[in-house]
Amino acid sequence: MKTMEPTTAPPAAAPDVKTMTLIEAITQGLHEEMERDERIFLIGEDIASYGGVFKATRGLYEKFGPLRVIDSPISENFLVQGMVGAAIVGLIPSPEIQFDDFISLAVDGIVEHAAKMRYRSGGMFTCPMVIRCCCGAAVGGGLFHSQFNASWFMHAPGLVVVAPSNPYDAKGLLKSAFRGQNPVLYYEHKRLYRTVKGPVPQHDYTVPLGKASVVREGSHVTVVSYALMLQRSLEAAEKLAAEGIEVEVIDLRTLAPYDKETILASVEKTARAVVVYESSRTMGVGAEIGAMIAEDGFSFLDAPVRRVSPPDAPQEPFAPVLADQYLPDANRIAQAIRDTVAY
Amino acid sequence: MPVSNDELRGLYYYANLVRQVDERCRRLFKQGRFHGTYFSAVGQEATVVGPCYGLRPDDVIGIQHREIGAVITKGMPIRYLMAQLFARQDSPDKGKSHPCHYGWKPAGIITPASTIAAQTVIVTGCALAWKIQKKDNVTIAFVGEGATSNGVWHEALNFAGVHKLACVFVVQDNLWAESVPKRLGVPVDNLSERARAYGFPGVTIDGNDMIQTYETSQEAIRRARRGDGPTLIEMKTYRWYGHSEIDPANYRTQEELEAWKKKDPVPRFERVLMERGIIDEAYKQSTLQKIEREIEEAIEFAEKSPHPDPSSLMEDVYAPLA
């Protein structure tokens, strides 16, 4: 039983590796990509001299100027859909959706235009763009500053959906997103911005899109998760290690199109799977992963695939006593894993 | 700048080409030669031929299902347009999208989706990119008056006004948003009044007067190209047929239709050119014969084009991930 760094991460002691927070890794990634490729520009609400409401775009306006870091009017639809046009004529736009709770206003641009542009034009037009979107509960944001709607966008073929759980992946996935030809919805969990630290190389590197990562090896049960729930799953795995339960933890990293092979290879080994995700329960990420394992890995299973998620409440409520009931914590995740192993 | 005789003859050719192609497409649909439906714009030719005539290939137009005339004038070869209606392999969209969602990259025509007004938003983003790239391209975004009630149209015009983008916004006020009359869609007679709210000029013109639509558009295009910002042009016009070929359009009166048919933009333009001696009967006949040959060739091309291979269902969903 051993705890591993994300499989591709270097040791923290390497000479050009710095320990950074997740938000620092994102900001650094944006600086480096904008230096590397002058076609990249950012547009969003409060992102220019203000540096973004969470300061993810700090320093970029000063360095790259008003034509490459653009404060937008409060026009979420234009922010995304307009940038489809900018991508078509040769730039690489990166619109920022300030909170995932506002993304509903931009769904037409994301789903009907960005995601479908390549298909609907028979490949004539491509739409390389990186839609950065701040998401997630556990910061006291209430119903409308806490959402994490990634599963909506897993139902939009043509769109790549990414949700890093650690600084190394955050920077590496961001770079891959900027270097491809697909529209990428890049989720940044606000609870993780400053609570997770890790090694980040200062040389150029990428993390591949569409590849999950086995972040902890184990033989008794597979846990599939991403973003904040991945970090809590790791906490749960650590608790269970003391009880003799060896948990294999898979970080999806890319939610769409996701890495079936890594999940199935793990479930073939462990025969048990738990999916831990942050959204209301029904038709969430667990529905797809669970159904896929049931369909393609049925013969591997010794127990039903279990889902751990918030309930079907609209979102994490504002009152702390209610909020505490919402997101799964490490104890709830651990209990679900125990139940699965004991089945 | 006075319009030259060559320009007038060019406009005459496209006005007739668009009219003839449009009427032929209606007939092809009624004959069952392609499926789905067809969105005719007969009666509205001047609102698209005037603005698009003379644009550069790297200028971009934002279009929807009814802008067949814009597409043809901007330079999409009609054989590819026919292949699109027939959903064949040689359609630029390879049979993926929709009969009337024309797109043709070499001529700067972005394949649209069906959400009304979205094309305005997308091409405004093109204009933002050109500002960043310091290019002098322009875009023309076409909508009907119905689309101006959509919030995204407002977002685009507002942004274009803030950043003085190289956009010409054309509203084809044809009085009907599918079946909903204009009086239930907008509370003003002249939609060009809305331009004031976005900080750029707006003008209402006769959308069935080819020379007026051309001259007004040229002025707006020159203004946009030199960096002075957008213009909103409202063109009063009328669509002769239903929303699409499956719509009998019985929500409107025969009197209204007949009154507008008397203002048919194509023969009206022809009369002006004849009166000025710019064209004569022989020129007219040779033009129509040339158009007829082009249309026949295009239909033959489309019908000979194979159906898409069934295995192409999953092509062009994603670009390679790595």
Per residue in A110-167, pLDDT tens?
999 999 999 999 999 999 999 999 999 999 999 999 999 999 999 999 999 999 999 9
**ipTM associated with this complex:** 0.96
By percentage, how much of chain A surpasses pLDDT 70?
Answer: 96
Retrieve residue B165's tokens.
Answer: 């983008």
Residue A5 is assigned to a structural domain of this protein: no
Q: Which of residues 99-158 of B touch A (CB under 8 A)?
A: 101, 103-105, 110-111, 113-115, 118, 121-133, 137, 151-152, 155-156, 158
| pLDDT band for position A15 (cuts 50, 70, 90) | confident
Task: Kindly state the average pLDDT of the residues A156-182.
Answer: 98
Q: How far apart are CA A334 and CA A340, in angstroms?
A: 10
Retrieve residue A281's tokens.
Answer: 């329960």
Q: How far apart are CA B47 and CA A266, in angstroms?
A: 61
Task: Kindly state the average pLDDT of the residues A7-27.
Answer: 83
Write out pLDDT tens, residues B60-69.
999 999 999 9
Q: How far apart are CA A240 and CA A139, in angstroms?
A: 26
| pLDDT band for position B7 (cuts 50, 70, 90) | very high
CATH code of the domain covering residue A219: 3.40.50.920
Would you say residue A244 has pLDDT above 60? Answer: yes
Q: How far apart are CA B98 and CA B110, in angstroms?
A: 14
Task: Kindly state the average pLDDT of the residues B229-236.
Answer: 98
Task: Spell out the alpha helix ranges (H) of chain B.
Answer: 5-30, 45-52, 68-74, 78-85, 118-133, 151-162, 195-198, 210-225, 254-261, 265-275, 281-304
Cβ atoms of B147 and B180 within 8 Å: the answer is no
Residue B169 is assigned to a structural domain of this protein: yes
Q: How many domains does chain A have?
A: 2
Q: What's residue A9's pLDDT?
A: 64
Separation in Å, CA B159 to CA A70, A232, B165, B197: 12, 42, 8, 12
Residues A99 and A234 both lie in one domain = no
Would you say residue A6 has pLDDT above 50? Answer: no
Domain of residue B104 covers 5-306
Catalytic sites of A, residue numbers: 145
| pLDDT band for position B272 (cuts 50, 70, 90) | very high
Residue A100 is assigned to a structural domain of this protein: yes
Among chain B residues, CA nearest to A65: B132
Residues A30 and A174 both lie in one domain = yes
By percentage, how much of chain A surpasses pLDDT 90?
Answer: 96
Cβ atoms of B204 and B176 within 8 Å: the answer is no
Is the CB of A120 less than 8 angstroms away from the CB of B93?
yes
Residue B227 amino acid letter: G
Would you say residue B15 has pLDDT above 80? Answer: yes
Residue B217 is assigned to a structural domain of this protein: yes
**What is the full DSSP assignment across A279-320?**
S-STTSHHHHHHHHHHHHSGGG-SS--EEE---SSSS--SSH
**What's the gap in Å between the CA of A222 and the closest CA on chain B?**
26
Q: What's residue A327's pLDDT?
A: 97
Count A/B contacts: CB-CB distance under 8 Å.
Answer: 158
Q: How many domains does chain B have?
A: 1
Is the CB of B111 less than 8 angstroms away from the CB of A120?
yes
DSSP-assigned beta bridge partners for residue A217: A2
Interface membership of B60 toward A (CB under 8 Å): yes
Q: How far apart are CA B173 and CA A67, in angstroms?
A: 35
Residue B152 is assigned to a structural domain of this protein: yes
Would you say residue A13 has pLDDT above 80? Answer: no
Retrieve residue B153's tokens.
Answer: 């149209």
Retrieve residue B9's tokens.
Answer: 């003859």
Q: How far apart are CA B287 and CA B19, in angstroms?
A: 13
Last residue within a domain, chosen from A201, A233, A258: A201
Task: Kindly state the average pLDDT of the residues B14-37.
Answer: 97
| pLDDT band for position A11 (cuts 50, 70, 90) | low
Q: How far apart are CA B248 and CA B241, in angstroms?
A: 8
Residues A128 and A194 both lie in one domain = yes
> In the sheet where B139-144 sits, what is the strand order?
B60-62, B139-144, B167-173, B231-236, B202-206
Domain of residue A322 covers 213-342
Task: Kindly state the average pLDDT of the residues B14-25.
Answer: 98
For residue B202, give the 3-state DSSP assignment: strand
How many other C-beta atoms lie within 10 A of the C-beta of residue A282? Answer: 12
- CB contact set of B310 (below 8 Å; sequence gap of 6+): none
Residue A326 is assigned to a structural domain of this protein: yes
**What's the gap in Å between the CA of A333 and the closest CA on chain B?**
32
| pLDDT band for position A10 (cuts 50, 70, 90) | low
Would you say residue B216 has pLDDT above 80? Answer: yes
By percentage, how much of chain B surpasses pLDDT 90?
Answer: 99
Residue A207 is assigned to a structural domain of this protein: no
Q: What's residue A8's pLDDT?
A: 57
Residue B318 is assigned to a structural domain of this protein: no
Residue B321 is assigned to a structural domain of this protein: no
Among chain B residues, CA nearest to A79: B125
Q: Which 8-state DSSP code applies to residue B39?
A: -
Residue B75 is assigned to a structural domain of this protein: yes
Separation in Å, CA A341 to CA A111, A276, A306, A337, B74: 39, 15, 11, 6, 65
Q: How far apart are CA A97 and CA A77, in angstroms?
A: 10
| pLDDT band for position B322 (cuts 50, 70, 90) | confident
In this prediction the pTM is 0.96
Q: What's residue A14's pLDDT?
A: 73
| pLDDT band for position A5 (cuts 50, 70, 90) | very low
**Among residues B147, B62, B153, which one has the least CA distance to residue B109?**
B62
Residue B311 is assigned to a structural domain of this protein: no
Last residue within a domain, chosen from A152, A169, A201: A201
Rounded to the nearest 10°, the torsion over CA A287, A290, A293, A295 is -50
CATH code of the domain covering residue A195: 3.40.50.970
Write out pLDDT tens, residues A98-113.
999 999 999 999 999 9
Cβ atoms of B67 and B116 within 8 Å: the answer is no
Our CA angle for B268, B49, B220, nearest 5°, is 110
Last residue within a domain, chosen from A169, A201, A233: A201
Instruction: Give me the phi and psi of B306, to 5 degrees please.
Output: -70, 160
Task: Kindly state the average pLDDT of the residues A174-195.
Answer: 98
CATH code of the domain covering residue B207: 3.40.50.970
**Among residues A197, A172, A310, A179, which one has the least CA distance to residue A254?**
A172
Residues A71 and A160 both lie in one domain = yes
Instruction: Give me the phi and psi of A276, to 5 degrees please.
Output: -115, 120
Residue B313 is assigned to a structural domain of this protein: no
**Among residues B9, B31, B10, B28, which one has the least CA distance to residue B20?**
B28
**What's the gap in Å between the CA of B56 and the closest CA on chain A?**
14
Residues A242 and A197 both lie in one domain = no
Would you say residue B106 has pLDDT above 60? Answer: yes
